[in-house]
Amino acid sequence: MSDSLEENFKEHLPSRHFEVYEVNMIDTINQITSIKALRKPLLTIKLVSGSGLTFTKYKNYKIIPNIIKSHNYSYDNNIILILHISSDQKLEKLKNHLLNWEGYISLAVYLDSHTFFSFETICTYCRLKEIIGTSNKISVHFVYNDIFNSPIDEYLLSHIIGNICYKYPITYLNQSCTNVLTDNKERGTKMSKYPANILRNIARKYSYGKYILIADSDHMFSRNFHDKMLNVAKNKLNNKNDNKYALVYRIFEVKTKNLSEAPKDKLELKELMSKKEAFIFHHYYKNAHSIPKLDEWLSIPDQVFPDVQFKAKYDRSNWEPQFISLNDIPYHDETFPYPNRDNTVLRWEMCRNGYQFLIVNDVFMFHLGLKEINESKAVSIARSLTKSQKENSVSKFRKVMDSKYPLTAKDCPL
């Protein structure tokens, strides 16, 4: 965390550790008349009308759903982009999603804070408000683990959150709200504790569209992706034959980190691939995302209503197809640790549950920038730390799948 930013923050607000004085506890907490920070001078915050925040619990996690709320949207006419991120990541990358994604977004943010009313909470909230600006198409849900649950914290946050970002002249962009780790071992250790599937499931729970797309924060989409895939979804996912389909799109990675230079259609993608500036994701490990008939796919002219190229068999356990589906697919298994098959496990269950994977023409997803060496080192450390947990999860998962879906035991590799 930037020292200058927190010091600036402390000049206006109570410090991260604070005491509350002159509290009237009648009827739980009717009012808080003043707040005194541990450091002087005394600060009095005028409490405004409640913001309508909700504080809820899921397993060992505390949630503030819709701390930033999108406008209402049509249930049938939107694909909701499901995203997750931690507050120590580069939140500015969300700007790209607001520019690139044509539908609505449900974002779960993980905060490593011990109280709701903390510097990290308010800093992260205000950074997101600056990033989102006037956009009304993203809902944000804050998620905490192992925090001290205080009604006073909830009351304070509810009554200042509505105007805190505008009342005090603090700029949050290009700053970090938490300590930034540079050591690979520390980064890998922290990464191994990141509750990715908890966050994915929470972001899903608080989305309200018929169709969903679960992605990562670095993933961008080709031009008109949402509207084209919505047309396909309305056609293929509403069949009356009880077939279970997932609409699969291809994924690539591009050298550029600049969204304006990224490929907008297959022609631009093909040109970048010929220059070795775009690759099947990941370029160093293609098995997870490679899909047959790429040359044929590249040669098919774009259409307003894309066709299905072919139906792909789930024939290898490390395949992690990216897809759009109805919102009633199984949830991610939360016993799988990040980053150790935490995302692949959903595909395993969908295969066992009888889902068919339809490869769609025209549209594609891409990762901005190639995976960096330091990031790969931290991921390797995290995988090593969670190896035994993953193996235990796989063993239990097999037993559950054989019990729930006994007829598909030989159809799906694991």
Q: What pLDDT is recorded for position 25?
A: 28
On the question of pLDDT at 400 being above 60, the answer is yes
Comparison of pLDDT for 176 and 311, the residue scoring more: 311
241's CB contacts (< 8 A; 6+ apart) are none
Alpha-carbon span 50 to 388, nearest angstrom: 46
Query: Of the candidates 289, 303, 349, which has an alpha carbon nearest to the alpha carbon of residue 325?
Result: 349
Considering only CA atoms, which of 3, 375, 39 is closest in space to residue 178?
3
pLDDT score recorded for residue 34 = 33
Q: What's the pLDDT at 57?
A: 94
The region of weakest confidence among 34-48, 51-65, 237-251, 289-303 is 34-48
pLDDT score recorded for residue 374 = 64
| pLDDT at residue 13 in the model | 46
Count the alpha carbons within 13 Å of 105 in the hemisphere toward its beta carbon. 27
- What residue segments make up the domains of the chain, in order of their start? 48-217, 218-414
Q: How does 90-100 read in b/e, with b if 16+ C-beta sit within 10 Å?
A: ebebbbbbeeb
Question: What percentage of residues in the chain have a pLDDT greater than 70?
Answer: 85
Q: Is the pLDDT of residue 47 over 60?
A: no
What would the mean pLDDT of 18-36 be, rounded to a whole number?
30
**Residue in the structure block whose two tokens are 């269950």:** 349
- pLDDT tens-digit readout, 71-127: 989 999 999 999 999 999 999 999 999 999 999 999 999 999 989 999 899 999 999
Cα–Cα distances (Å) from 188 to 137, 185, 233, 377, in that order, read 33, 5, 38, 8
Question: What does the pLDDT read at residue 119?
Answer: 87
pTM of the model: 0.88
